[in-house]
């Protein structure tokens, strides 16, 4: 029984490691920031997931509840990593990076104009961009 568990857990860890490796290869190999983010998400999901699953099979739930903590790590990872990815992609597009395409023309779809009244932070970022500075703006006199 413990032999089967060992084999399963090592298979998970090794395959998870392979996905992390592929993720790294993709980071080097793909052409621009957006496609590279797709490669990075490989390590975030199946890479981390399989390694944690393998560790879970090794540890079991355990008297000190190690397994529960491993599961919680995975849950929090799956909740937080897409938020960071979304913010990074949005910032890159907002900053004027044109996504790489196979035919070489920029994609037709663009960011929708934000309502400046609705999101003050974005309006500030755009103003800074147009002024050619990213320094915080001086406080407004009232």
101 part of the interface to another protein, by CB under 8 A: yes
CA–CA gap between residue 12 and residue 18 (Å, rounded): 10
Name which position in 112, 121, 136, 142 contacts another protein (CB under 8 A). 112
Tokens found for residue 1: 């029984």
| Closest by Cα among 111, 10, 99 to 53 | 10
| Closest by Cα among 95, 89, 100, 103 to 40 | 89
5 part of the interface to another protein, by CB under 8 A: no
97 part of the interface to another protein, by CB under 8 A: no
User: Which window, 2-10, 51-59, 61-69, 132-140, contacts another protein (CB under 8 A)?
Assistant: 61-69
Residues 6+ apart with CB under 8 A from 87: none
Q: Is the CB of 5 or the CB of 78 nearer to another protein?
A: 78
Name which position in 8, 9, 17, 45 contacts another protein (CB under 8 A). 45
């Amino acid at each position: 029984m413990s032999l089967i568990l060992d084999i399963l857990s090592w298979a998970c860890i090794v395959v998870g490691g392979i996905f992390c490796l592929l993720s790294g290869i993709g980071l080097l190999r793909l052409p621009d920031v957006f496609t590279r983010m797709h490669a990075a998400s490989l390590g975030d999901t199946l890479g981390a997931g399989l390694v944690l699953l393998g560790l879970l099979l090794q540890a079991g739930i355990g008297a000190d509840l190690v397994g529960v903590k491993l599961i919680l790590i995975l849950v929090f990872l799956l909740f937080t990593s897409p938020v960071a990815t979304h913010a990074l992609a949005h910032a890159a597009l907002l900053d004027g990076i044109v996504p790489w395409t196979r035919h070489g023309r920029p994609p037709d779809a663009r960011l929708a104009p934000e309502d400046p009244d609705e999101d003050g932070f974005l309006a500030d970022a755009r103003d800074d961009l147009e002024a050619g500075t990213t320094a915080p703006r001086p406080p407004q006199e009232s």
